[in-house]
Amino acid sequence: MTSAPTTLEPHPWNAGYEWQDHDGPFTTVTDDQARQFDERGYFIIEDAFTPDQMARLDEEIAPGESRVRDFLQQMPEGRLSVAGVDTQTVAPHLVVHSEYLHDFCAHPLLVGLCRDLIGPDVRLYWEQAVYKQPHSAEPVLWHQDNGYTYVEPQAYLTCWIAINDATLENGCVRVYPGVHRHGTLRHRNTPIGFECYGDESQAVLAPVRAGSIVVFSSLTPHHTGRNTTDEVRKAYIVQYAPTGAEALEGDPEAGPSTGRHSMDDPARQYLVLREGEPVLGETAEAKSLGT
C-alpha cells in the first residue's frame, strides 16, 4: 500500500487534462448552478423529490441492501474495502432488480441535468445505495469517483440523492471545491477504500434535506465523515457518462493502461439520452415518478 498523497499530484494516466466550461443554453440548471459547477465542481438542488418518492426509493433499495449486508457478514471482520457492517453498506446495480429504480434513473430532472452538463448522448454509468450505519466505525476518505475506475472522458456526473436528511452529524458530503479542474488525481488504495489528497481546511460541507441532490463532477474530491447518530444515513448515488466513454484497465502505478472496455452493458448502463432526447423518460412508469 502506498502512502497517502500529500499534494494535488495528477493520476499517472492524466496527461494535460483541461476542464471544459459549460455555456448553455440550459434546460434544467440555472446559469448560476452551471457557473458553480464549473468553478467549484458541485451545486445543490434542494427538495428535488417528494417524501413519497424517497420512501418508495428506500423500499425498492431494501432487498439489495439486505443482500449486501448478508454478504458482508460473511467477510473477515465484516468488511470489504469501503463497505462494512459496522461502517456502511454499498449496494450497486439495483436497476437490474427493480423496474422502479431502472426508471427512476431516467427521471426527467436527472436526464435534464445530463443534457446540460454532459451532452446530447448519455448512458447511466453506475448507481448504488450507500447506507451509513449508526455510530459508524470509519469515514469515507477523500476521493474522486474517477479515482476508483479511471474513465475517459474523465468528467462524468454524480447525483448524490439524500433519502433522509444528510447532516454533519450523520455523514453528509464534504467537497474540495475547484480541484476538479485539475482532472483525475493520484489515489492510493487503503483497507477502507481509495484516497486522494484532500485539504480539510478547504472542505465545504453539503448538508441537505431528504429528497435533495448534491450534484458534482466525477473529478470533485469529496468525502463523508462518520455517522455519529443513532439512525442510518441513507443515500442513493446515480452516475452518468457520455455515450462512448471507456474504462481503462491495468495498474496506473505500473505503467500505461493495458486495455479498455466500453461502458454499455444494456442491463445497467442503458441510454437515457439520445441526440438530446430522453430515451426512457416517456414510459408510463417514468411518468408515475413525477415530472
pLDDT-derived band at 248 (thresholds 50, 70, 90) equals very high
Please report, rounded to a whole number, the percentage of residues in the chain having pLDDT higher than 70. Answer: 95
Break the chain into its structural domains and give their ranges.
Answer: 41-288
Identify the residue with better confidence: 289 or 107. 107
Q: Are strands 173-175 and 204-206 parallel, antiparallel or unpaired?
A: antiparallel
Q: Tens of pLDDT along 96-106? A: 999 999 999 99
- pTM (2 d.p.): 0.94
Q: Tens of pLDDT along 65-77? A: 999 999 999 999 9
CATH 2.60.120.620 fits 41-288, yes or no: yes
Rounded to the nearest integer, the mean pLDDT of the chain is: 94
Report how far residue 197's alpha carbon sits from residue 45's, in angstroms, rounded to the nearest whole number.
27
Return the pLDDT at 7: 87
Q: Is 241 exposed, middle or buried (0-12, 13-18, 19+ CB in 10 A)?
A: buried
| Residue whose C-alpha is closest to residue 185's, from 2, 8, 40 | 8
